Copies of this chain bind each other. A is one copy, B any other.
């Protein structure tokens, strides 16, 4: 405890908010003790926790670069059972504020938290919770509805024209988001070496942009699955507009219902929602639908090692989401003797993608406020900023895994075809 200092600072800019929950009185020694504990818990980053009476708790021997304002006593003590979850909630409803740039602040916190070891019992609890969490088809529907069916209009405000809500690919970090999403789709198609006339099944197609792109640019026939009603309706409409309705079929159903035989299996940004315990089932679905020399690609957020997703993101933004480590992903491929051909980690590309999304989100925040309340806006800001920070500091990864059947010898001798200028 002696490693922390306290100071009283003037926060004129925020003083108007200080009184809105009535006067909780001065911070007691217990409040201050808990605030210090909280700083220790997150690894003593250069952050001042500024309490409702402007008492600032700071780590000793560390420059203070950021100020987190707790506007009432209850907001502070809500951190007790689960600081990460409750920080998100209190940030969203405005009871906690960050004075400085949110992305920079979160990167600093995450960098410090990496070095903190959780107590054994906490880890055990998280492991057991994970062990007994299964995404059944009805659960998957509810979870996906929660995130994706809040209105297509909202997503059109900050996604690219093709509504790619997955990591873009920036071979040059200076290109635009529109260019980078097209580059991503080309990168995926080249990895799969799509040929005109091939049949492709896509598991989790979002607003269907990749399916239309593959049909239009590579001449393949695509059957694309998604359990989000709103996304599928939007995707079908766009395909009709583009005259692609004969090349692309959107199926509003779970990937577990895939039937038929295909030259290619592709899934971009669905695996995060599948749940580790369903990987063997996913492998079985792929094994059941991929032709003898078929190629597959799975694009997913991942981890360096098995770990729980940020509890706030997992509870409030993406229910049931769980990014896997490479070791965990092996459960998809190994039981069915698939050969992994290529894994690429695009972590920095997702940080860059999120930078664009956050910037576009802020550019349209006034329009967004016409449809949603301030809590929603703050929650989404925190989610986008927190995700960018996680990819920047390396607590999240982005893996593209290319695989095939073991006997497929019709393979190129190098990956140079991915880097040839096709323009």
Contacts and interface: CB of A to CB of B under 8 A. Distances in A.
B348 A413 contact: yes
A173 B409 CA distance: 13
Contacts of A397: 339-340
A322 interface: no
Given A327-B330, A339-B304, A413-B171, A111 B407 contact: yes
Q: By CB atoms of chain B within 10 A, which of A170, A331, A407 has the most?
A: A407
B342 A345 contact: yes
A326 interface: yes
B419 A406 contact: no
Interface string A404-423: 00111101011110110000
Interface residues of A, number: 46
A399 B403 CA distance: 13
Main secondary structure on A side of the interface with B:
mixed
Contacts of A114: 337, 406-407
A330 B327 CA distance: 5
A394 interface: yes
A335 interface: yes
A343 interface: yes
A304 B338 CA distance: 6
Contacts of A409: 348, 392, 394
A399 B207 CA distance: 35
Nearest to A343: B343
A341 interface: yes
A128 to B, nearest CB: 19
Contacts of A325: 330, 334
Contacts of A334: 304-306, 325-327
A407 B393 contact: yes
Contacts of A416: 171, 419
A84 B409 CA distance: 25
A241 interface: no
A114 to B, nearest CB: 7
A395 interface: yes
A406 B304 contact: yes
B339 A413 contact: no
Contact of A344 (B304, B331, B342, B407): B342
A114 B349 CA distance: 39
B339 A415 contact: no
A413 B343 CA distance: 15
A172 interface: yes
Contacts of A173: 413
6 contacts: A305-B334, A340-B345, A341-B344, A343-B343, A348-B411, A393-B406
Given A306-B334, A393-B407, A395-B406, 12 more contacts: A114-B406, A171-B413, A171-B414, A304-B333, A304-B334, A304-B338, A304-B339, A305-B335, A339-B347, A344-B415, A348-B409, A349-B413
